[in-house]
Amino acid sequence: MLGAGIGRGAMRIINAMVRGLASAGIPPNVLTTIGVLINLACGILFGFGEFFWAGIVLIVANLFDMLDGNVARLTGRVTRYGGFLDSTLDRLSDMGAFLGIMIFYSRMTPEHSVMNVALGGIGMVASVLVSYTTARSEGLGVKANVGFLQRPERVVLLIIGALSTWSWSSSHFLANRMPQVLWVLAVGSMWTLIQRMIFIRRELMAMDRNDLGDK
């Protein structure tokens, strides 16, 4: 009940913001661009080790990610280019966050960790490939939004890891959980990639069989 109430309250706020932005005549593509710029700022904060504030900025950035599509639908300004721009800049946003984390853990600081750099790299590559396989398969007629760890889940995990890092010196058992989050992101994203590739293979082979049967 509490979760549903919070969800309804959040949607009311988002809908009010959408109506306000639509009334102001702000183009959806401008909102998309603002969102990616905020995401890149988040990556910079990660690079400087300001993980907690990067998490706050990441929340704001993904709010913009929800607003642009809703504004486009409300104002009747849904376009193919808008969808393409949104999808492309989402990949840039994802890579910006991972790159910032990798830069931080590669620096000569007490938190330096080759393992975390490697996990961040695996998570970044797998995340981009998950999105690429979806886009490529849709061009072939297969919708492949399947898998354990999709983009919303990845964003939530990054936010959790970032907000847990409010102090590098904290000994609290909930503090500084980004390394564990990176493990989940790396393994989960690779697993999702494999799931989608298997699903797409099955669907495309079924389509090929149907095509041969029609001849």
**CA 127 – CA 25 distance, rounded (Å):** 34
Give the whole-angstrom CA distance, residue 78 versus residue 71: 9
Question: Is the model more confident about 102 or about 11?
Answer: 102
Mean pLDDT of 181-210: 91
pLDDT-derived band at 3 (thresholds 50, 70, 90) equals very low
Sign of CA dihedral 87, 89, 95, 97: negative
Residue 171 — φ and ψ, nearest 5°?
-105, 5
**Is pLDDT above 80 for 195?**
yes
Indicate which CATH number applies to the domain containing 14: 1.20.120.1760
Range of the structural domain that residue 199 is part of: 2-214
Between helix 80-106 and helix 151-163 the angle, nearest 10°, is: 40
- Residue range 103-115, pLDDT digits in tens: 999 998 889 999 9
Using pLDDT thresholds of 50, 70 and 90, give the confidence band for residue 9: low
Whether residue 97 is predicted with pLDDT greater than 90 in this model: the reply is yes
| pLDDT of 1 over the 70 cut | no
Burial label for 6, CB within 10 Å (0-12, 13-18, 19+), is exposed
The percentage of the chain sitting over the pLDDT mark of 70, rounded to a whole number, equals: 93
Counted domains in the chain: 1
Q: Which of 91, 74, 166 is nearest to 132 (CA)?
A: 91
Question: Is pLDDT at 5 greater than 80 in this prediction?
Answer: no
pLDDT at 99 over 50: yes
**What is the distance between the alpha carbons of residues 36 and 57, in angstroms, rounded to a whole number?**
11
**79-100 burial string, b = 16+ CB within 10 Å, else e?**
eeebeebbeebbbebbbbbbbb
Q: What is the percentage of the chain residues whose pLDDT exceeds 90? A: 41
pLDDT at 193: 92
